[in-house]
Amino acid sequence: MTTRRKFIAGAAAAPAALATPALAQSTIKWRLQTYAGAALAEHVVKPAIDTFNKIAGDRMQIELYFADQLVPTGELFQAMQRGTIDAVQSDDDSMASPTDVTVFGGYFPFGSRYSLDVPVLFNQYGLDAIWKEEYAKVGVQHISAGSWDPCHFATKDPINSLKDLEGKRVFTFPTAGRFLSQFGVVPVTLPWEDIEVAVQTGELDGIAWSGITEDYTVGWADVTNYFLTNNISGAWIGHFFANQGRWDELPEDLKELLKVCMEQSHYYRQWWYWGGEASLRVNGDKMKLTTIPDAEWQTVEDAAVKFWDEIAAESPTKAKIVEIFRKYNSDMNKAGRPYRYT
């Protein structure tokens, strides 16, 4: 901070043509940490924060921090609740949210088939209201939900059958790991930035944390050899959150500007991931595609139905959310093409 102050003071004293304008004393300053490492954050959050800062100018500026820079991802919720961090971009599962909605964040097994399912579930099927209510109970503002990429396995060895998953040490999300463990997968939790090295050293056999776009973007395609085309979810569910006190202090127009920039972030990811997933399967040259036959993979989809029942039995709120997922997927199946191909 001392160095920062000296830099600003020096800039103010420099010739006008060379000086960088210092922020006004009244500028609202926030710190936002994302779940994503630097390479991924360039797409999933930085454009939105850059746009917000450009428009807000001297009124408000957000400092962006990447995965584990200020606190470990698993401590993001606590840090935000305390006010150590003002805002967070993450899924509920990764940041260990102490709410009844946590297991549905990230990749809820087979909860969605396409990325557009997520905003429809939140905006038209009632999930947004439930999330806001649950986070209000713990002093956090749920600002906005959006979808990311589907969940696939990226592995060193080929996966051609369910048997090939047995004993594989895989970096994945808590709830996804809980589900996949019944097929012999060994879930491993590590800091995001350590994953590439962990695959290289043999600490990990694979990753079930993203689609192929992220595999190429963050370097995982350089250390894994195979990409399994079967997935356990069509889209990651992620959110923007803020400390309730800091959110309440903002003028209404800055709240709206934040919402708009975050919605633009959701839109950017819709097409970036959707196009990338297809293009890299067709044109990518770093990973060989493998597929578990549909008849065998049906075993995994059938297991998800039982898993949903298990989750629903844990609390009335979880039961309500599971029922929404059931209703939504039933509607999509009845609607038929292009909503569902069954």
- Report whether 195 contacts 222 (CB < 8 A): no
User: What are the tens digits of pLDDT across the range 180-206?
Assistant: 999 999 999 999 889 999 999 999 999
Same fold, 2-147+236-277 and 151-235+284-335: yes
Instruction: Tell me what pLDDT residue 342 has.
Output: 62
Q: What is the pLDDT of residue 22?
A: 61
The length of the chain in residues reads: 342
Q: What is the pTM of this model?
A: 0.90
User: Residue 137: exposed, middle, or buried by beta-carbon count in 10 A (0-12, 13-18, 19+)?
Assistant: exposed
Q: Residue 115 carries which DSSP code? A: T
- Looking from the CA of 181 toward its CB, the CA atoms found within 13 Å total 12
Token pair belonging to 227: 């990409």
What is the residue extent of each domain of the chain? 2-147+236-277, 151-235+284-335
Report yes or no: 282 and 61 within 8 Å, Cβ to Cβ. Answer: no
The burial of 132, by beta-carbon neighbours within 10 Å (0-12 exposed, 13-18 middle, 19 or more buried), is given as middle
- Are 289 and 229 in contact, with CB atoms under 8 Å apart? yes
What is the rounded average pLDDT of the residues 154-177?
Answer: 97
67 neighbors 192 (Cβ within 8 angstroms): yes
CATH number listed for the domain at residues 2-147+236-277: 3.40.190.170
- CATH, domain range 151-235+284-335: 3.40.190.170
pLDDT at 25: 81
d(CA 336, CA 170): 34
Average predicted confidence (pLDDT) for the chain: 93
